[in-house]
Amino acid sequence: MIDIFLTSNFQMNVNLDVQQLQDKRALPAIYQLSGKELEGGWIVGEMLKSPLDEDDGYSSGGTFSVCYSCSNGGKAAFLKVFDVFRALQSADALQELQNVTTAFRHESFIVEICKKAGLSRVVRGLASVETKIAEPLMAGVTIPFCYVIFEVADRGDLRRMLRRTSEVDLAFKFKILHEVAVGLSQLHKNRIAHQDLKPSNVGIFQRDSVGAKILDLGRATSLDFSAFHDALACPGDNSYAPPEQLYGYTTDSFVDRRASGDLFQLGSLLCFLLFWQTANQQMLRRVPREFWPQNWTGKYEDVLPYIQEAFAQWLNDVESEIPEWCRSDLMNLLRHACDPDPLRRGDPKARMQRPTSIGMDRFVARLANLTRRAEVAVRIARGQPN
């Protein structure tokens, strides 16, 4: 049996097509795990994502994964397998192999930190395993087999929930946002930034009335464990990324680059729940075409005034769409969370008192207050007693 780590001149020439994937005899090992038993008694269920779906990977070209349902003693869970097979098909197979295994170790490290710290608003990891598996398409060869098992959101993610029903009241939206803000605050206090917050990365846990938790730590940054995606200007989904990332602006400050980015994505999530568009969509449609990220070749500092003008126009345009009872609070929240300037983004008082803080706890408190007030408003609208 050949260990893949020992073949320094190894290059793989196996390319799969749809017909091959329909023939399980031609599938790589990690694409046919259904029905297998993993370490600890976990039984693998159905595949949740197709290996041929490019959207399963990171939009900015990072590691890919294959996802399954799984269970153990009746307990349902989510299995994320790091796709070593695809890495081995690349032109620089060994480098890609290293990227994938490093990504696994990085995510496992962060998952373990969250588990030990008992972060209530971040998805909990149940198992993390790095071993080897025989590859049927490569006779006599074993390849790395890396996977993480997570608790499963029984109501799915926020994106899917909103697809099922758009009739979600403000109280529920504010509750979700508050719980997500708590999750971000918990991560930041443990020197971690999520960097890829969006509706599909917010899980709804209805069982035991748990509520929302932040999912997918694959693009997170830790001050205690570096990852290859740390060097990317935009490590997460472009649609929800803060504008400075779209223009390639970076800074060495964890607060201004990472925590500030998380806060923008929280504000963008609020924007999506209120107006069904992201903050970037709202701002960039008001920016002249020559200043769009794909057309701009200058510094972010030089285009920032145009982004700020569009930001102000957007806030002015949407103000009347917000219910009067929460208009002032929501406008301030959007203004401070989605500020295009990462050095100003955050609570102004917190920034003034301590430049190394964006004041996430203050946003948590504001959203908690908005949730309580929204619950009262919803009951009144339904003719129910306060």
**pLDDT tens across 62-72, in order?**
457 899 999 99
Annotated domain spans of the chain: 2-151, 158-381
Averaged confidence pLDDT in the chain = 86
Q: Are 163 and 190 in contact (CB under 8 A)?
A: no
More confident residue, 161 or 116: 116
Q: pLDDT band for position 264 (50/70/90)?
A: very high
% of the chain surpassing 90 pLDDT: 59
Model confidence over 79-103: pLDDT tens digits?
Answer: 999 998 888 877 888 888 888 999 9
Whether the per-residue pLDDT at 178 is higher than 60: the answer is yes
CA-derived radius of gyration, the chain: 22
DSSP state of 124: P
Pull the structure tokens for residue 243: 């504008």
User: What are the distances in angstroms from CA 237 to CA 233, 262, 281, 333?
Assistant: 11, 12, 13, 22
Check residue 208 and give its pLDDT.
64
Q: pLDDT band for position 229 (50/70/90)?
A: confident
What's the mean pLDDT in 317-325? 92
- Residues 38 and 67: their CA atoms lie apart, in Å, by 14
2-3 vs 141-151, strand pairing mode: parallel
Check residue 312 and give its pLDDT.
96
Model's pTM, two decimal places? 0.87
Whether the per-residue pLDDT at 134 is higher than 50: the answer is yes
Q: pLDDT band for position 7 (50/70/90)?
A: very low
Whether the per-residue pLDDT at 19 is higher than 50: the answer is no
Three-state SS at 99: helix
Q: pLDDT band for position 165 (50/70/90)?
A: low
Model confidence over 282-298: pLDDT tens digits?
Answer: 999 999 999 999 999 99
Whether the per-residue pLDDT at 193 is higher than 60: the answer is yes
Whether the per-residue pLDDT at 262 is higher than 70: the answer is yes
Model confidence over 343-359: pLDDT tens digits?
Answer: 999 999 999 888 788 99
* Least confident window among 125-134, 143-152, 230-239, 290-299: 230-239
Three-state SS at 104: helix
Of 217, 195, 200, 42, the C-alpha closest to 119 is 217
Q: pLDDT band for position 10 (50/70/90)?
A: very low
Fold of 2-151: Phosphorylase Kinase; domain 1 (3.30.200)
Whether the per-residue pLDDT at 25 is higher than 60: the answer is no
Three-state SS at 149: strand
What letters, b where the CB count within 10 A reaches 16 and e where it falls short, cover 149-170?
A: bbbbbebebbeebbeeeeeeeb
Q: Are 177 and 183 in contact (CB under 8 A)?
A: no
- Residues 384 and 380: their CA atoms lie apart, in Å, by 6
What's the mean pLDDT in 247-267? 93
Whether the per-residue pLDDT at 49 is higher than 90: the answer is no
Whether the per-residue pLDDT at 269 is higher than 60: the answer is yes
Answer whether CATH 3.40.50.720 is correct for domain 158-381: no
Longest dimension (CA), the chain: 73
User: What are the distances in angstroms from CA 312 to CA 235, 263, 283, 284, 336?
Assistant: 27, 18, 9, 12, 12
